[in-house]
Structure 1
Amino acid sequence: MTLRAETSPLLRGRLAAGTAFFVQGLLFISLTTRLPQIQERWDLDELAVSGLLLMVVLLAGVGSVVAEVVAARTSSAVVVRVGLVAATLGLGLLLLAPTFAVFVAGLAVYGLALGLVDASSNMQAVTVEHLYRRPILPSFHAFWTAGGVLGTVVTLATVAVDLGPGLLPLLFFPLAALAAPFVRRDRLARVDAAIDVPWRRIALLGLAMVLFYMVDTAATTWGPVYLKGALDAPSGLTALATLPYLVATLLARAVGDGLVDRHGAVWLLRVSGVVAAASLAVIVFAPTWFVAVIGFTLLGGAVATIAPLSFSAAGAIAGGEDDSAGERIDRTDQVVARFNQFNYVGALLGAVLTGAVGADDLRIGFAVPMVLILGIVPLASQFAIIRRRGAAVETH
Structure 2
Amino acid sequence: MRAPLDPAAEPVTADLRRARTATALAFGAQGLVFISLTTRLPVLQDRWDLGEATLSVLLLMMVLLAGVGSVVAEQLARNRHSAGVLRVGLLVVAVSVPVLVGAPELLVFVAGLAAYGVGLGLVDAAGNMQAVAVEHRYGRPILPSFHGAWTLGGLIGATLTLIQPDLWVAGVTCVVPLVVALAAPFLPRVGEPDTAGITVPWRPIVLVGLGMVLFYMVDTAATTWGPTYLDNTFPTPDRWVALATFPYLLATLVMRFAGDGLVARFGPVRVLRAGGVLAFLSLLVVVTAPAWPVAVLGFTLLGLGVAVIAPLSFSAAARIAGGDDVPAAVRQARVDVVIGRFNQFNYVGALLGAVLTGLVGANSLRVGFAVPMVLILGILPLARHFGGRSDSLVNR
The answer, yes or no, to whether TM exceeds 0.5 is yes
The structural deviation recorded for 1:386 is: 5.0
Of the three residues 150, 154, 157, the one matched with 1:151 is 157
State yes or no: 1:182 paired with 2:183.
no
Q: Which runs of 5+ in 1 are unaligned?
A: none
Question: TM (normalized to structure 2)?
Answer: 0.95
Of the three residues 51, 61, 80, the one matched with 1:45 is 51
Alpha-carbon distance in 2 for matches of 1:391, 1:67: 34
For 2:265, the equivalent position in structure 1 comes to 262
Alpha-carbon distance in 2 for matches of 1:187, 1:100: 47
> Equivalent residue of 2:134, what SS?
helix
For 2:101, the equivalent position in structure 1 comes to 95
The structural deviation recorded for 1:31 is: 0.2
Q: Is the 8 A contact 1:80 1:121 kept in 2?
A: yes
Q: Is the 8 A contact 2:208 2:317 kept in 1?
A: yes
> Equivalent residue of 2:13, what SS?
helix
For 2:203, the equivalent position in structure 1 comes to 200
Q: How does 1:162-311 map to 2 (within 5 A)?
A: 163=167, 165-178=168-181, 179-191=183-195, 193-311=196-314
For 1:67, the equivalent position in structure 2 comes to 73
Alpha-carbon distance in 2 for matches of 1:36, 1:115: 23
The structural deviation recorded for 1:246 is: 0.1
Q: Is the 8 A contact 1:188 1:325 kept in 2?
A: no
> Equivalent residue of 1:255, what SS?
helix
For 1:347, the equivalent position in structure 2 comes to 350
The structural deviation recorded for 1:166 is: 2.1
State yes or no: 1:122 paired with 2:125.
no
Deviation digits for residues 171-227 of structure 1, max 9, x if unmatched? 110111021000111443213x12111100000001000000000000000000000
Q: Segments of 4+ in structure 1 off by > 6 A?
A: none
Q: Is the 8 A contact 2:90 2:177 kept in 1?
A: yes
How many positions carry a matched residue from both structures? 385
For 1:312, the equivalent position in structure 2 comes to 315
Alpha-carbon distance in 1 for matches of 2:25, 2:144: 14
* Identity score, percent: 59
The structural deviation recorded for 1:320 is: 0.6
The structural deviation recorded for 1:167 is: 2.0
Alpha-carbon distance in 2 for matches of 1:187, 1:224: 47
Q: Is the 8 A contact 1:246 1:300 kept in 2?
A: yes
Of the three residues 366, 370, 379, the one matched with 2:369 is 366
> Equivalent residue of 2:387, what SS?
helix
Matched to 2:96, the amino acid is G
Of the three residues 137, 142, 152, the one matched with 2:143 is 137
State yes or no: 1:377 paired with 2:383.
no
Q: Is the 8 A contact 2:191 2:329 kept in 1?
A: yes
Name whichever of 180-189 and 140-149 sits farther off: 180-189
For 1:21, the equivalent position in structure 2 comes to 27
Alpha-carbon distance in 2 for matches of 1:146, 1:156: 15
The structural deviation recorded for 1:389 is: 9.2
Q: Which runs of 5+ in 2 are unaligned?
A: 1-10
Deviation digits for residues 318-356 of structure 1, max 9, x if unmatched? 111101111110110011000000000000000000000
The structural deviation recorded for 1:288 is: 0.2
> Equivalent residue of 1:74, what SS?
coil
The structural deviation recorded for 1:261 is: 1.2
The structural deviation recorded for 1:75 is: 1.0
Alpha-carbon distance in 2 for matches of 1:223, 1:391: 36
The structural deviation recorded for 1:392 is: 12
The structural deviation recorded for 1:168 is: 2.3
Alpha-carbon distance in 2 for matches of 1:29, 1:331: 31
Deviation digits for residues 129-149 of structure 1, max 9, x if unmatched? 110111110010000000000
> Equivalent residue of 2:390, what SS?
coil
Matched to 1:155, the amino acid is T
The structural deviation recorded for 1:388 is: 5.2
> Equivalent residue of 1:387, what SS?
helix
Question: TM (normalized to structure 1)?
Answer: 0.95
Q: Is the 8 A contact 2:273 2:379 kept in 1?
A: yes
The structural deviation recorded for 1:7 is: 1.8
> Equivalent residue of 2:349, what SS?
helix
Alpha-carbon distance in 1 for matches of 2:12, 2:296: 45
C-alpha RMSD of the superposition: 1.4
Q: Is the 8 A contact 2:212 2:345 kept in 1?
A: yes
Q: 1:194 to 1:154 in 2, by over 3 A?
A: same
Alpha-carbon distance in 2 for matches of 1:122, 1:302: 21
Q: Is the 8 A contact 1:135 1:389 kept in 2?
A: no
Alpha-carbon distance in 2 for matches of 1:378, 1:214: 17
Matched to 1:26, the amino acid is L
Alpha-carbon distance in 1 for matches of 2:216, 2:12: 37
